[in-house]
Amino acid sequence: MNILLLGAGGREHALAWAIKQNPKCDRLIVAPGNAGIAAVAECADLDIVDPGAVVQFATDMAVDFVVIGPEAPLAAGVADELDAAGILVFGPSQAAAQLEASKRFTKEVCDAASAPTAAWARFDAAEPAKAYLREHGAPIVVKADGLAAGKGVIVAETLDQALDAVDDMFGGEFGAAGAEVVIEEFMTGEEASFFVLCDGETVLPIGTAQDHKRVGEGDTGPNTGGMGAYSPAPIMDDAVTQAALDQIIRPTMAEMARRGTPYKGVLYAGLMIENGQPRLVEYNARFGDPECQVLMLRLGGQILDLLLAVAEGRLSEARVNWADDHALTVVLAAQGYPGAYRKGAEIRGLDALPETSSEMTFHAGTAMREGALVATGGRVLNCTARGATLTEARDRAYALVDAIEWPEGFCRRDIGWRALG
């Protein structure tokens, strides 16, 4: 079959790499793609947040199945337009994708479903928000309500930090995403990511992971889109996983169906776990990045069968085959990230790296210029490996890192530290 994958990051490179392994995939087009994706698929220049353009392209290219990687096309209603045109698509509707696109919407759904989450309040002006902060004190969490590329969340450790965050959000730092602000209680515990597939009725868990959001070692410094991840998450034992399914995921999916907006796609639940009890931090309507990279290394080609089962509404028949292994990814980022960084620096050494079912370097922000591979983003490469143990996976991933010549880049050296002790 002919498959179109939308996106350009490390997540999409990992998805493309896994989908291509499935014999059902005859032709894979990725739009817009990147330099790494170009090695495994055709790349196409396409405005992926223009639903009409995506439908036209899919029709012209005789595409049988569209997989939507990032959040922006979901929020733009690309899945709805494809569905209306009779083109099979993996990804939730615009209404269902509100679980990621609006923090307020998610909180209201959780309240209706009695899903355990942080106490919260929403504001559309700075002064009432500041009054609430002064009343509740710090630590406290301030979130831009809309999509902010994973960065619109400030965990304020002091009242001044929280007040500054409110000023930044209403001052336009996150654009339209900051037109409303949600303030939440600060939850303590250990965070984990839980990924499930849903076809509107059936919920199928497909893996757990833990990521490192802070830029600095020891999980310090500002938040990023993610500096590394590993799977499975040790804290997500059978009891915690079952509690998350029974108390959070399934009630949320039932509430979405009750509202007439059944959720069809991958649901990524960010959880906070304390004393064996999970609480919801946030939902995302797509695979996490870089969590997707470790999941794809562990799942391989079967992911296409699972995505098709969701799109065709037959997830109840699907099964996930897990190897008893571990995977870990290290993000290489441009110096200065998540602040200002320079683009265009050449990266060397990738040609000599192994590309196997156990070791892959996924591209997140790269391009080819005059025959040279150059960095084009903040997060640039994801050195990903799996092994029988997490230690083995970590050592293989850092061996990939150490073989890359890119003085303008940096990475964290402690990915997996919490699980490895």
Please spell the DSSP secondary structure of 310-377, one letter per residue: HHTT-GGG------S-EEEEEEEEETTTTS------B-B-GGGS--SSSEEEEESSEEEETTEEEE-S
**308 and 365 share one domain:** no
150 class by beta-carbon count within 10 Å (0-12 exposed, 13-18 middle, 19+ buried): middle
Total domains, the chain: 4
Q: Tell me, what's the pLDDT at 178?
A: 54
pLDDT of residue 153: 85
CA 178, 13, 337, 392 torsion: positive or negative?
A: positive
Do 223 and 313 lie in one domain? The reply is yes
What distance in Å separates the CA atoms of residue 29 and residue 41, rounded to the nearest whole number? 6
Residue 204 and residue 249 share a domain: yes
Q: How many CB atoms lie within 10 A of CB 335?
A: 15
Together in a domain, 341 and 248: no
| 168 and 148 Cβ atoms separated by less than 8 Å | no
Q: Return the closest-CA partner of residue 19 out of 38, 36, 40, 39.
A: 40
- Same-domain status, 256 and 371: no
* CATH assignment of the domain containing 361: 3.90.600.10
Residue 41 forms part of a structural domain = yes
The pLDDT value given to residue 250: 98
Chosen domain end from 179, 198, 214 = 179
Does some domain include residue 339? yes
pLDDT of residue 323: 82
Name residue, tokens 């108390």. 247
CATH code of the domain covering residue 27: 3.40.50.20
Do 12 and 73 reside in the same domain of the chain? Answer: yes
Distance, in Å, from the CA atom of 311 to the CA atom of 271, rounded to the nearest integer, reads 26
- Domain termination residue (choose one: 75, 92, 109): 92
Q: Are residues 259 and 378 in the same domain?
A: no
The span from the CA of 234 to the CA of 310, in Å, is: 27
Give me the CATH number covering residue 276: 3.30.470.20
Say if strands 372-375 and 366-369 run parallel, antiparallel, or are unpaired. antiparallel
- pLDDT (tens place) for every residue of the chain, 421 residues total: 999 999 999 999 999 999 999 999 999 999 999 999 999 999 999 999 999 999 999 999 999 999 999 999 998 999 999 999 999 999 999 999 999 888 889 989 999 999 999 999 999 899 999 999 999 999 999 988 765 555 578 889 999 999 999 998 888 776 655 578 889 999 999 999 999 999 999 999 999 999 999 999 999 998 899 999 999 999 999 999 999 999 999 999 999 999 999 999 999 999 999 999 999 999 999 999 999 999 999 999 999 999 999 999 999 999 999 888 999 999 999 999 999 999 999 999 999 999 999 999 999 999 999 999 999 999 999 999 999 999 999 999 999 999 999 999 999 999 999 999 7
* 84: in domain: yes
165 and 221 within one domain = no
DSSP symbols for 45-101: ---TT-HHHHHHHHHHTT-SEEEE-SHHHHHTTHHHHHHHTT-EEES--TTTTHHHH
pLDDT at 148: 53
| 260 and 311 part of one domain | yes
Radius of gyration of the chain (CA): 20
Helix (H, G, I), strand (E, B) or coil at 129: helix
What's the predicted TM-score (pTM) here? 0.91
Q: Which domain holds residue 210?
A: 190-317
Q: Are residues 256 and 143 in the same domain?
A: no
Tell me which of 46, 76, 92 is where a domain ends: 92
Task: Give the domain CATH number at 144.
Answer: 3.30.1490.20
195 and 306 in one domain? yes
- 200 and 313 in a single domain? The answer is yes
Q: Is 246 helix (H, G, I), strand (E, B) or coil?
A: helix
Q: What pLDDT does residue 369 have?
A: 96
Distances (CA, A) of 255 to 93, 99, 281, 287, 336: 15, 12, 18, 22, 42
